[in-house]
């Protein structure tokens, strides 16, 4: 049955909301559990659709996985299958994170080319090139990436682009390689730091996580561990932009404000009052937001995952905004849905110019990915009438209890 959200416009969001562990971290941590025989326990896991999807991937590889609330326990056997099931893998992009651990642990891997959000091309070239530098052979065969390495050896690797997925697969392979691996132009996201923190707790020797150069000294074996997942900065940022759009007042807990420094700075420029705490922040907006320009970049730049929220805010801001997308070329398909709602927007290549309107008008809109879906719900909150958001299974992949949390803050959103 296809579900949809019915969003009634005109609500002012106010109150407190807690953010769970990061989607972009927990799935990679689950994949990394393949590196050690025994039971790895993850806490503060978000209760989202992608977690049981990753469970299915790991079960197909021979693991036993228990999910109890926000705790995930992964029992990894002594012998792991190198074949990642096509039906499980094709449903979401993060499943490719098993590639590095499988090559390191099994000396070979067969991972079906993953599916996921429709936000543009995300090839595996840098994943394959990095593994080849470590001594593996790779190729695409029958819709799967195949990698083999009788022995992995440390190497100097430089990424053409600070790809998060490539950084993760190279690091998770290098932890069991012979010798030292130096990865330059590595991704710097907090989720990379979280992964390296867990790997070090398992016995890996990794330095430089969070910088552009990561050094990995390979070890013979890793041991399972317990780890608490870092807070989800993208979900936290979504609530921050929801407060600004609805001229509301939201306190967010469970996320480090330092992970959203630029996103929160943009809200200050838009006229919001932003207070930060050790484990959260408060965003209050008492007026129509001012127009602000945005440019998405790898961390610590403005997150591409918050670009739909920036567009939604800009559609009702006072003035003209220019938003530049530098990461995923197809992300502007979200603009087509905003035009349905009455936005004044013009797309030119990887730029979109938005002239703020006083209010949006309700209609039916369709989610193309997780963040676009959330952005459309926020737009519905500031539209006249009732907006129907279709394709909400995308939203369920990244936002736990989204409807319930929105309604607790004063919105009127119904799942149909």
* CATH code for the domain in which residue 352 is found: 3.65.10.10
What pLDDT score was predicted for residue 264?
Answer: 98
Could you tell me if 222 and 258 lie in one domain? Answer: no
Q: Residue 116: pLDDT band by 50, 70, 90 thresholds?
A: very low
Beta strand 156-158 with 144-148: parallel, antiparallel or unpaired?
unpaired
What pLDDT score was predicted for residue 330?
Answer: 67
Nearest alpha-carbon partner for 312 in 65, 1, 7, 4: 7
Could you tell me if 282 and 215 lie in one domain? Answer: no
Q: Tell me the mean pLDDT in the region 60-64.
A: 96
Least confident segment among 28-37, 286-295, 323-332: 323-332
70, 117, 194, 232: the active-site residue = 117
Element (H, E) at 103: helix 99-106
pLDDT score of 44 more than 70: yes
Please give the structure tokens belonging to residue 204: 């890996």
Show which of 179, 206, 228 is a domain's final residue: 228
For 2-15, write each residue's pLDDT tens digit. Answer: 899 999 999 999 99
C-alpha–C-alpha distance, residues 244 and 249, integer Å:
8
Could you tell me if 262 and 337 lie in one domain? Answer: yes
Could you tell me if 154 and 247 lie in one domain? Answer: no
Q: Does the annotation place 327 within a ligand binding site?
A: yes
What pLDDT score was predicted for residue 118?
Answer: 43
Selected residue with higher pLDDT from 247 and 140 = 247
Could you tell me if 56 and 164 lie in one domain? Answer: yes
Show which of 165, 198, 228 is a domain's final residue: 228
Could you tell me if 144 and 258 lie in one domain? Answer: no
117 is known as an active-site residue: yes
Degrees, nearest 5: CA angle 165-167-169: 70
Could you tell me if 337 and 282 lie in one domain? Answer: yes
Domain that holds residue 389: 4-19+231-415
What pLDDT score was predicted for residue 119?
Answer: 39
Q: Does the annotation place 182 within a ligand binding site?
A: no
Could you tell me if 245 and 206 lie in one domain? Answer: no
Q: Does the annotation place 305 within a ligand binding site?
A: yes
Show which of 203, 228, 253 is a domain's final residue: 228
pLDDT score of 93 more than 90: no
Q: Tell me the mean pLDDT in the region 213-233.
A: 98
C-alpha–C-alpha distance, residues 406 and 119, integer Å:
25
Could you tell me if 47 and 162 lie in one domain? Answer: yes
Could you tell me if 245 and 389 lie in one domain? Answer: yes
pLDDT score of 90 more than 80: no
Indicate the DSSP class of residue 288: P
How many domains does the chain divide into? 2
What pLDDT score was predicted for residue 115?
Answer: 57
pLDDT score of 407 more than 80: yes
For 235-277, write each residue's pLDDT tens digit. Answer: 999 999 999 999 999 999 999 999 999 999 999 999 999 999 9
Q: Tell me the mean pLDDT in the region 389-409.
A: 96
Element (H, E) at 17: strand 14-18
Indicate the DSSP class of residue 80: -
Element (H, E) at 5: strand 4-8
């Amino acid at each position: 049955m296809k579900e949809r959200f019915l969003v009634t416009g005109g609500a002012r969001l106010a109150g407190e909301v807690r953010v769970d562990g990061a989607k972009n971290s927990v799935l990679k941590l689950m994949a990394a559990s393949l590196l050690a025989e025994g039971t790895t326990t993850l806490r503060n896991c978000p209760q989202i659709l992608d977690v049981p999807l990753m469970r299915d991937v790991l079960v197909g590889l021979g693991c036993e996985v228990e999910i109890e609330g926000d705790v995930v326990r992964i029992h990894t056997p002594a012998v792991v299958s190198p074949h990642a099931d096509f039906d499980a893998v094709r449903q979401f992009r993060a499943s490719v994170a098993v590639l590095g651990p499988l090559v390191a642990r099994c000396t070979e891997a067969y991972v079906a080319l993953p599916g996921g959000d429709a936000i543009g091309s995300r090839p595996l070239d840098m994943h394959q090139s990095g593994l080849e530098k470590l001594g593996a052979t790779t190729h695409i065969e029958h819709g799967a990436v195949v990698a083999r390495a009788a022995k992995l050896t440390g190497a100097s690797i430089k990424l053409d682009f600070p790809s998060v997925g490539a950084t993760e697969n190279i690091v998770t392979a290098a932890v069991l390689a012979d010798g030292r691996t130096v990865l330059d132009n590595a991704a710097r996201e907090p989720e990379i730091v979280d992964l390296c923190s867990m790997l070090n707790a398992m016995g890996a020797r990794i330095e430089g996580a969070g910088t552009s150069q990561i050094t990995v000294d390979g070890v013979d074996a890793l041991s399972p561990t317990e780890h608490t997942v870092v807070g989800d900065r993208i979900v936290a940022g979504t609530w921050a932009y929801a407060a600004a759009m609805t001229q509301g007042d939201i306190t967010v807990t469970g996320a480090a404000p330092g992970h959203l420094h630029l996103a929160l700075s943009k809200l200050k420029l838009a006229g919001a009052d932003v207070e930060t705490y050790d484990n959260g922040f408060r965003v209050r907006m008492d007026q129509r937001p001012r127009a602000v320009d945005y440019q998405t970049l790898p961390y610590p730049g403005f997150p591409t995952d918050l670009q739909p929220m920036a567009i939604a805010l800009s559609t009702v801001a006072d003035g003209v905004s220019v938003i530049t997308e530098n990461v995923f070329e197809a992300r502007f398909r979200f603009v087509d849905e905003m035009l349905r709602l009455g936005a004044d927007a013009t797309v030119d290549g990887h730029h979109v110019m938005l002239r703020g309107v006083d209010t949006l008008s309700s209609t039916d809109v369709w989610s193309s990915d997780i963040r676009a879906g959330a952005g459309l719900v926020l737009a519905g909150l500031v539209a006249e009438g009732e907006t129907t958001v279709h394709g909400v299974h995308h939203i369920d992949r990244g936002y736990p209890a989204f409807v319930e949390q929105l309604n607790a803050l004063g919105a009127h959103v119904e799942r149909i």
